[in-house]
Amino acid sequence: MDNPFVPTAGSTPPELIGRKGLLDEFSYGMRIGSGAPGLLTIFTGARGIGKTVMLSEAEDLAREAGWAVISETATQGFMGRMGESMRRLANELGDTTPGRRVTSVSAAGFSITTALPPAEQVGWRNTGGQLLRLLDAQGTGLIITVDEIHATDRTEISQLAASVQHFIREGLPIGLVFAGLPSAVSDLLNEGVATFLRRADRIDLHAAAVRDVEKSYTKLFAEGGFDLSSAVVHAAAEATAGYPFLIQLVGYFLWREAELNPVLTDAAAEAAIEHAQKRNTRVVIQAALSTASGRDLDFLKAMSRDEGDSATRDIASRMGASSSVVGNQRARLIDAGIVEPAGHGVVRYAIPGLREYLRSLPQ
């Protein structure tokens, strides 16, 4: 058996840990059809927490239910690309259904480098409407997923939201599943660009429970024919803190080590865990911090003096800043998925290893 772990962004893990039931409402929505609450879902969470994987899960469920799927990343021009996909789908469907050949869908092309100009928005809606009516006639519908909604300007998102709202009003079977960092989603919902998205089911993804990671490791390593001591499995699971990207990294390096020496010593296991943590630091932490301002970094460093959760009051006094300034920073860092609230006036790091990393920086 090959190494089953996939420490790669967006790859479906060998076991989806701690996500049971999260897509039930979505599946149910496809059964009810147009306007069902579960058909508007937004996944948010820190980097590497498993947002993209949840979009893939939703897409798989949709295909199993016979629904058409359009999967996009919110880079510039995604509305145009989506329009092209809809047209292709409508043509395919129209061709294979005798007597319902669609000929009018292929009018003008869509702009695929910018937001849609007004005339193209009309064409987009016509194409979408045609596709949705064809799918509706088959008793299915269309699921659109958009990943990384923090990566785009608001214009295209609001164009998409407005069109989807329009389709829902017409009773057409469409579902929208978004994923993005908490900041992007909060802004989107608060700025009023797409007020109708406030109705969406917002699902905040968190780390899995360590004991579930332990169970999963035990099972997967046993399937691979490795006999790891429960102490090693426990230490490895603990080291992940239930954080999905680390679950894959630690599992991956542990597996490699076990392939080399099937009776895994504690020292070898420790080395594998350390290797995984280093990789995590490089990939996740540095990416997350690349958007933090100097003041944000000071805030995060001030937190690193605590062994556990940090009181905002303490952070303010360490930084010599007013509590309102620190309060704003706190909100921004929470939205960016770098820290998370841990009770009233208390925060903690949302990314494991962040404390150790910050402590290693010049203070």
Residues at the contact surface with ligand ATP, assessed by CB under 6 A: 6-11, 13, 16-19, 45, 47-53, 208, 244-245, 247-248
What DSSP state is assigned to residue 351? S
How many angstroms separate the CA atoms of 191 and 116, rounded?
20
Quote the strand ranges of 181-298, DSSP E: 201-204
Single out the segment in contact with Mg ion by CB under 5 A; choices: 21-29, 44-52, 95-103, 193-201.
44-52
Chosen from Mg ion, ligand ATP, none, partner binding at 352 (C-beta under 5 to 8 Å by type) = none
Chosen from ligand ATP, Mg ion, none, partner binding at 91 (C-beta under 5 to 8 Å by type) = none
Residue 248 as a binder of Mg ion (CB under 5 A): the answer is: no
Q: CB-wise, 58 or 200, nearer to ligand ATP?
A: 58
Q: CB-wise, 122 or 287, nearer to Mg ion?
A: 287
Q: CB-wise, 205 or 264, nearer to ligand ATP?
A: 205
Least separation in angstroms between residue 52's CB and Mg ion is 3
Chosen from Mg ion, ligand ATP, none, partner binding at 97 (C-beta under 5 to 8 Å by type) = none
Residue 280 as a binder of Mg ion (CB under 5 A): the answer is: no
Least separation in angstroms between residue 252's CB and ligand ATP is 9
Q: CB-wise, 17 or 237, nearer to ligand ATP?
A: 17
- CA nearest neighbour of 161 among 56, 90, 79, 75: 79
Chosen from ligand ATP, Mg ion, none, partner binding at 83 (C-beta under 5 to 8 Å by type) = none
How many angstroms separate the CA atoms of 353 and 284, rounded?
10
Q: Is 325 helix (H, G, I), strand (E, B) or coil?
A: helix
Contact 339, 306 (CB under 8 A): no
Residue 145 as a binder of Mg ion (CB under 5 A): the answer is: no
Number of helices followed by number of strands (H, E) in the chain: 15, 8
Chosen from ligand ATP, Mg ion, none, partner binding at 49 (C-beta under 5 to 8 Å by type) = ligand ATP
In this chain, which of 52, 91, 140, 240 binds Mg ion, going by CB under 5 A?
Answer: 52
What DSSP state is assigned to residue 208? P
CA 308 vs CA 30, 246, 350, 353: distances in Å: 43, 20, 12, 12
CA 294 vs CA 199, 291, 304, 325: distances in Å: 36, 10, 15, 14
CA 35 vs CA 86, 189, 192: distances in Å: 20, 19, 20
Q: CB-wise, 55 or 194, nearer to Mg ion?
A: 55
How many angstroms separate the CA atoms of 237 and 121, rounded?
50
Q: CB-wise, 48 or 128, nearer to Mg ion?
A: 48
Chosen from Mg ion, ligand ATP, none, partner binding at 6 (C-beta under 5 to 8 Å by type) = ligand ATP
- CA nearest neighbour of 347 among 326, 321, 361: 326
Angle at 295 between CA 292 and CA 301, to 5 degrees: 85
Q: CB-wise, 143 or 247, nearer to ligand ATP?
A: 247
Least separation in angstroms between residue 164's CB and Mg ion is 22
- The contacts of residue 96 (CB under 8 Å, 6+ apart) are none
The one-letter amino acid code at 8 reads T
Cβ-proximal residue to ligand ATP, closest one? 50
How many angstroms separate the CA atoms of 293 and 334, rounded?
14
Least separation in angstroms between residue 50's CB and ligand ATP is 3
Ramachandran area for residue 308 (φ above 0: left; ψ -120 to 50: alpha; else beta): beta
Q: CB-wise, 124 or 217, nearer to ligand ATP?
A: 217
Q: CB-wise, 47 or 87, nearer to ligand ATP?
A: 47
Single out the segment in contact with Mg ion by CB under 5 A; choices: 33-41, 50-58, 126-134, 302-310.
50-58
Single out the segment in contact with Mg ion by CB under 5 A; choices: 43-51, 99-107, 198-206, 229-237.
43-51
Name the site residues for Mg ion (rule: CB under 5 A).
Answer: 51-52
